[in-house]
């Protein structure tokens, strides 16, 4: 199984079913040639906008690097993708590669979830295996963990992924709305449309672990 | 996989619900394999991951592997998620780190869900049946000496090395990190070649210290090469400040335009000081990543 393997096939099938967005990236077939056109979902009407044109999958990595204010985006699923660009790609392979730069690993994680082979790791398990400077994170209280998750992971300003994990099995988080944990719900604004590829979080990321460390250190 | 004899069969502890086995399998065809380059990454500095991406791009262009991926400890894709995006049945992992240490021996294997010991001795079978080969970090390869010499000669073109003090700058005293040991080893090797008037190591956090460079180095011309995998706060600011240079920006999206690397030689304390960007930005690094794949194959043949 190589470059043209099942992940791309599964993604192609999703496109064929009408998939047209992942996170803040809108996807459409080109009107005039065989290929794909990507824009920020708020700028799909390109005729009225002076968008800067790009043409390689690698451009996606640069477009995803900074927000509108030129600040670094360490979390690519933060709802702050820059505006003002249009990316034209010739093939499904290029499209797949570009989206993998916009939302690293999201396509593979989504495919694993669809195939029922995506493990979900509770936050306590993630924290318990940390070492070095992050070992201290296991000391966080349940209540404080709830607050940090609410502050870091909220779809409004935090992260557009749908959370699949709990604090520990049977202990869901209380601070975020139920739809944040529903894999059938897209986390972007309702007007963005619902033919979106799911952005899923099966395990707390290092940014959240770092935020928990900060919270623990603050109370020590 | 062929029917080659199993040279060793070692049961690993149950991890993430699966039992691992390690055994020697015949060398796979790289064109059917994935290469995963693992970097540290940063939540504040985009330049941290830039060399890892650049090396991945270069190797991808060479078309040697079915897939080339990068993953990071502090950036995306994370080590916990990257394997879901890799389709090949055989995966080589090369840490883009300057030395063996805490990250290469503990954090990366743990986050990839691998056993913590014996990894470099042979392939590991993942719970989903794929085979992963965990190579040594790029900085451990003997060709790193060649990379250092290339960088030193590039930063001071036309300067006769026999009249130069070459200073290899490392971090020193990192927790569980052998970067100082690696820098010392490079000094020993380059010194033995007799190319430079003298070859020295200096560190940020231990003696001999970078700020003593003018005392340590006896030659009028001094070349300083940071022994780091990427540019960042250390190479832009910390080291220049210790050298007495005007520090560059905290971070830059175009390191080659940073004055601190461009304005060579810096005339300071009666010397000509040539300051290079981090060794990990050298394009030759991509070749050494491949050399570590070859080294794994040779070691486990």
Q: What is the DSSP letter of B236?
A: I
Q: What is the DSSP letter of B136?
A: P
For the CA atoms of chain B, what is the radius of gyration? 20
Element (DSSP H or E) covering residue A87 = strand A85-89
Give the gap in angstroms from C-alpha B194 to the nearest C-alpha of chain A.
41
pLDDT at B247: 67
Residue linked to tokens 């669809």? A114
CA neighbours within 13 Å on the CB side: how many for B156?
Answer: 24
Q: Answer whether B81 sits within 8 Å of A2, measured CB to CB.
A: no
pLDDT at B23: 46
Whether B220 contacts B163, CB under 8 Å: yes
Structure tokens at A214: 């900060």
Split at pLDDT 50, 70, 90, the class of B251 is low
Q: Answer whether A2 sits within 8 Å of B66, measured CB to CB.
A: yes
Q: What is the DSSP letter of A76?
A: T
Structure tokens at B144: 């790193």
* B279-288 pLDDT, tens digit each: 999 999 999 9
What pTM was estimated for this model as a whole? 0.91
pLDDT at B256: 47
As for the ipTM of the complex, it is 0.94
* CA B70/CA A27 separation, integer angstroms: 24
* B70-95 pLDDT, tens digit each: 999 999 999 999 999 999 999 999 99
CB pairs under 8 A between A and B: 83
Split at pLDDT 50, 70, 90, the class of B249 is low
Between A58 and B45, the higher pLDDT residue: A58
pLDDT at B258: 61
What residues have CB less than 8 Å from A120, skipping those under 6 apart? A164, A165, A202, A203
* B19-60 pLDDT, tens digit each: 344 444 567 899 999 999 999 999 998 889 999 999 999 999
Q: What is the DSSP letter of B116?
A: S
Whether B160 contacts B151, CB under 8 Å: no
Closest of B258, B238, B234, B257 to residue B248, by C-alpha: B258
In this prediction, residues A80-91 reach a mean pLDDT of 97
Residues of chain B that touch chain A, judged by Cβ-Cβ distance less than 8 Å: 16-17, 31-32, 42-46, 53, 57, 66-67, 73-78, 80-89, 102, 106-107, 110, 128, 175-176, 251, 253
């Amino acid at each position: 199984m190589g470059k043209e393997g099942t992940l791309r096939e599964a993604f192609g099938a999703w496109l064929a079913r009408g998939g047209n967005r992942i996170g803040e990236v809108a996807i459409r077939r080109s009107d005039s040639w065989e290929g794909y056109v990507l824009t920020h979902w708020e700028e799909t009407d390109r005729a009225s906008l002076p968008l800067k044109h790009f043409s390689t999958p690698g451009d996606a990595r640069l477009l995803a690097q900074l927000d509108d204010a030129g600040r670094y985006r360490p979390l690519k699923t933060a709802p702050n993708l820059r505006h003002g660009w249009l990316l034209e790609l010739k093939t499904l392979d290029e499209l797949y590669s570009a989206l993998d730069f916009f939302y690293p690993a999201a396509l593979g994680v989504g495919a694993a979830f669809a195939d029922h082979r995506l493990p979900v790791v509770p936050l306590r398990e993630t924290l318990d295996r940390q070492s070095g400077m992050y070992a201290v994170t296991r000391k966080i209280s349940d209540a404080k963990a709830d607050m940090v998750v609410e502050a870091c992971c909220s779809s409004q300003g935090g992260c557009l992924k749908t959370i699949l994990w709990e604090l520990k099995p049977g202990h869901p988080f209380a601070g975020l709305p139920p739809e944040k944990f529903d894999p059938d719900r897209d986390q972007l604004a309702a007007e963005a449309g619902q033919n979106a590829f799911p952005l899923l979080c099966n395990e707390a990321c290092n940014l959240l672990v770092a935020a928990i460390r900060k919270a623990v250190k603050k109370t020590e | 996989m062929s029917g080659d004899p199993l040279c060793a069969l070692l049961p690993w502890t149950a991890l993430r619900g699966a039992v691992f086995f390690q055994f020697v399998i015949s060398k796979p065809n790289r064109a059917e394999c994935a290469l995963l380059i693992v970097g540290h990454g940063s939540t504040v500095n985009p330049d941290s991951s830039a060399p890892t991406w650049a090396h991945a791009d270069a190797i991808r262009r060479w078309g040697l592997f079915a897939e080339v991926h990068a993953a990071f400890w502090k950036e995306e894709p994370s080590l916990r998620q990257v394997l879901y995006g890799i389709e090949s049945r055989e995966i080589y992992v090369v840490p883009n780190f300057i030395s063996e240490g805490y990250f290469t021996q503990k954090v990366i294997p743990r986050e990839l869900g691998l056993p913590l010991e014996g990894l470099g001795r042979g392939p590991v079978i993942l719970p989903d049946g794929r085979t992963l080969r965990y190579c040594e970090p790029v900085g451990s390869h003997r060709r790193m000496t060649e990379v250092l010499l290339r960088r030193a000669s590039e930063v001071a073109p036309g300067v006769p090395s026999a009249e130069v003090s070459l200073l290899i700058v490392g971090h020193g005293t990192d927790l569980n990190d052998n970067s100082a040991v690696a820098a010392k080893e490079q000094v020993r090797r380059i010194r033995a070649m007799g190319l430079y008037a003298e070859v020295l190591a200096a560190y940020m956090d231990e003696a001999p210290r970078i700020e003593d460079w003018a005392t340590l180095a006896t030659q009028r011309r001094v070349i300083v090469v940071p022994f780091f995998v990427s540019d960042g706060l250390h190479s832009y600011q910390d080291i220049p400040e210790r050298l007495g240079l005007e520090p560059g920006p905290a971070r830059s999206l175009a390191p080659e335009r940073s004055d601190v690397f461009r304005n060579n030689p810096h005339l300071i304390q009666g010397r000509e000081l040539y300051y290079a960007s981090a060794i990990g930005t050298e394009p030759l690094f991509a070749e050494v990543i491949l050399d570590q794949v070859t080294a794994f194959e040779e070691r486990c043949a």
